[in-house]
């Protein structure tokens, strides 16, 4: 049996910043493995991970409040290099004998820092005497630094814009190097992890594959595993990875929720059976899903109902397979972040992803989720590493709750059928225009709003259909896709002509944030 590769790790302690996950992204881009843990679990995570470096995120609180987030001093005594960002800098100063004050002018947006001393943090970026643009977002400011620290950069609003204790390798900045608006921030993070903390960028998809295969074998033993397979990127990659680990102990279960795209069920099962020699059970649960969802309009209630039904179906299917003890799902890191707010951390829940509720106590199944730490683009890279065809790896994401969260308000079989038809036309036009691979995700939303139109000289009073298409790398942030007008025009004409019940088509031009990709 292959031994898991021991790669280097960075612990990111989350103090509730809205951009904490961007720190993780920047490090992953450097081939550095990292995990985000809320400040309340920082010590446990430190002991479990034994990281080579620690990063403190920003956060909404003020260290001048007595009950603001703190960390156990074990984290300082542990001895690994530490990098504090914004609240992270303020915390380091407040905890180690410096001073932080509120009530100065807020500094929000672009600022210039002046480097006052050459530092490995700014190596190759800026030297003493030079300026560097950064992005700031703070109200408090550090007014005195702890003993052993020196100032390495200042700005108008932050006399201690960057500080360092070179002996203990503790560095901290008031600005946010993790955001794109700090143009050379990624290089500063690179300087910290590579040059200061001495990591080597040893985290590759090949290493991850090997490590997960060993981990799955160890977790599962001789037991059988059922894997929820949607035909989407994540579950296809999860299934192939698990199959590599345990071979015929794996059975895949495809659930037709009745909320899939038009003809999706046939396409997925055919494609999967053609490519892989993995047993696949096809469960038609459409009546059950549509039945239980009847009369429900609230988005979170829809999501929770769907999550529960998936689990019930998986439980029933597992009882038909002797020795089935595990349920595998293609859960990703963003699913977890948005549902639970950075691993149970201090930020807000945006929406409950159907696959993140955990399993009820009465169930004997245990979860196998080998992709739970990955972002979408990393899953695609892992898929390519595993030799999956582009037909799987390049597919647009499709959420488990499916069309249920694309029909705001009550879901009826008629509404589902209307949306399926319109959505199929939209995707067909996108493919014909050669734009499928330029778009991260595209879909239609059927609105519970009727408007007046005129068709063939007669008055119509029918529903509005919204089209959505976004570009993104990981679904965490997104921009609306800038279509050539003709494509939208062609799509709208075809939908209104061919789909009864729709007389108006609109295009959604909201980015994420402030919008989310899905409408519910």
Ligand X SMILES: Nc1ncnc2c1ncn2[C@@H]1O[C@H](COP(=O)(O)OP(=O)(O)OP(=O)(O)O)[C@@H](O)[C@H]1O
Ligand Y SMILES: NC(=O)CC[C@H](N)C(=O)O
Interaction of residue 228 with ligand XMP, rule CB under 6 A: no
Q: Give the one residue of 17, 191, 212, 318 binding ligand Y; rule: CB under 6 A.
A: 17
Q: Which does 59 bind (CB under 5 to 8 A by kind): Mg ion, ligand X, ligand Y, none?
A: ligand Y
The SS3 assignment for 150 reads strand
Listed in sequence order, the DSSP H helices in 387-441 are 390-393, 413-432
Q: Which does 62 bind (CB under 5 to 8 A by kind): ligand Y, ligand XMP, Mg ion, none?
A: ligand Y
> Which member of 107, 178, 325, 429 is catalytic?
178
Interaction of residue 257 with ligand X, rule CB under 6 A: yes
Q: Give the one residue of 59, 258, 299, 397 binding ligand Y; rule: CB under 6 A.
A: 59
DSSP at 280: E
Q: Does 230 count as an annotated binding residue?
A: yes
Q: Which does 139 bind (CB under 5 to 8 A by kind): ligand Y, ligand X, ligand XMP, none?
A: ligand Y
CB atoms within 10 A of CB 67: 6
> What is the C-alpha to C-alpha distance for residues 138 and 85, in angstroms, rounded to an integer?
11
> What is the C-alpha to C-alpha distance for residues 314 and 359, in angstroms, rounded to an integer?
11
Integer-rounded Cα Rg, in Å, for the chain is: 25
**Residue 259 CB, nearest distance to Mg ion (Å)?**
11
Catalytic residue list contains 176: yes
Q: Give the one residue of 355, 472, 491, 503 binding ligand X; rule: CB under 6 A.
A: 355
Element (H, E) at 307: helix 299-319
Q: Which of residues 129-158 bind ligand Y (CB under 6 A)?
A: 137-140
Q: Give the one residue of 12, 152, 242, 255 binding ligand X; rule: CB under 6 A.
A: 255
**Residue 114 CB, nearest distance to ligand Y (Å)?**
20
Residue of 8, 68, 71, 81 whose CA lies nearest to 42: 71
Q: Give the one residue of 9, 37, 190, 351 binding ligand XMP; rule: CB under 6 A.
A: 351
Q: Give the one residue of 8, 212, 230, 477 binding ligand X; rule: CB under 6 A.
A: 230
Interaction of residue 399 with ligand X, rule CB under 6 A: yes
Stretch binding ligand Y (CB under 6 A), from 55-63, 209-217, 271-279, 334-342: 55-63
Backbone angles phi, psi at 271, to 5 degrees: -60, -45
HEC profile of 426-471: HHHHHHHCCCHHHCCEEEEEEEEEEEEEEECCEEEEEEEEEEEEEE
| Cβ burial, residue 28 (10 Å; 0-12/13-18/19+) | buried
Q: Looking at beta carbons only, is 138 or 376 nearer to ligand Y? A: 138
The residues assigned a catalytic role are: 86, 176, 178
Q: Which residues are annotated as a binding site?
A: 230-236
Residues that bind ligand Y (CB under 6 A): 17, 58-62, 86-87, 137-140
């Amino acid at each position: 049996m292959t031994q898991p590769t021991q790669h280097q790790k960075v612990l990111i302690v989350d103090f509730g910043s809205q951009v904490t996950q961007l720190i993780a992204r920047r490090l992953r881009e450097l081939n550095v493995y990292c995990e985000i843990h809320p400040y309340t679990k920082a010590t446990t995570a430190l002991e479990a991970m034994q990281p080579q470096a620690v990063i403190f995120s920003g956060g909404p609180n003020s260290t001048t409040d007595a009950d603001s987030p703190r960390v156990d001093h074990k984290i300082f005594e542990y001895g690994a290099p530490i990098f504090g960002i914004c609240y992270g800098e303020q915390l380091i100063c407040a905890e180690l004998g410096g001073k932080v004050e509120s009530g100065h002018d807020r500094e929000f947006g672009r600022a210039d820092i002046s480097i006052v001393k050459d530092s490995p943090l700014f190596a190759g970026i800026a030297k003493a005497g030079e300026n560097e643009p950064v992005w700031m977002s703070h109200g408090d400011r550090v007014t005195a630094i702890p003993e052993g620290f020196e100032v390495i950069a200042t700005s108008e609003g932050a006399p201690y814009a960057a500080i360092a204790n070179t002996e203990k390798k503790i560095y901290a900045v008031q600005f946010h190097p993790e955001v794109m608006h700090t143009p050379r921030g990624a290089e500063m993070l690179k300087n910290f992890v590579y040059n200061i903390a001495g990591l080597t960028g040893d985290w590759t998809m090949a290493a991850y594959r090997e490590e997960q295969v060993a981990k799955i074998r160890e977790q599962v033993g001789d037991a059988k595993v059922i894997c929820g397979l949607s035909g989407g990127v994540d579950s296809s990659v999860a299934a192939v990875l698990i199959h590599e680990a345990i071979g015929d102990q794996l059975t895949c279960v495809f659930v037709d929720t009745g909320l899939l795209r038009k003809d999706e069920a046939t396409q997925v099962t055919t494609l999967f059976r053609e490519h892989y020699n993995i047993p696949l059970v096809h469960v038609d649960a459409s009546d059950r899903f549509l039945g239980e969802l009847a009369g429900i309009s609230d988005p979170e209630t829809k999501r929770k109902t769907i999550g529960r039904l998936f689990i019930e179906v998986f439980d029933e299917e597992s009882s038909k397979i002797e020795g089935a003890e595990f349920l595998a799902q293609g859960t990703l890191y963003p699913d977890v972040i948005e549902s639970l707010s950075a691993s149970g951390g201090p930020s807000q829940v945006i929406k409950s992803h159907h696959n993140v509720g955990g399993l009820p106590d009465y169930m004997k199944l245990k979860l196998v989720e080998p992709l739970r730490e990955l972002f979408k683009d990393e899953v695609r890279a892992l898929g390519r590493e595993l030799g999956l065809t582009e037909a799987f790896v390049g597919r647009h994401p499709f959420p488990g709750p499916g069309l249920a969260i694309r029909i705001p308000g009550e879901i009826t079989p008629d509404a589902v059928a209307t949306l399926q038809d319109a959505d199929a036309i939209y995707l067909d036009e996108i493919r014909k225009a050669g734009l499928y691979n330029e778009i991260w995700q595209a879909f239609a939303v059927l609105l519970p709003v009727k408007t007046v139109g005129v068709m063939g000289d007669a008055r119509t009073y029918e529903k509005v259909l919204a089209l959505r298409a976004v570009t993104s790398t990981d679904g965490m942030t997104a921009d609306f896709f800038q279509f050539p007008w003709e494509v939208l025009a062609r799509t709208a004409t075809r939908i209104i002509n061919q789909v009864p019940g729709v007389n108006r088509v609109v295009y959604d031009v909201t980015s994420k944030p402030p919008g989310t990709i899905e409408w519910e």
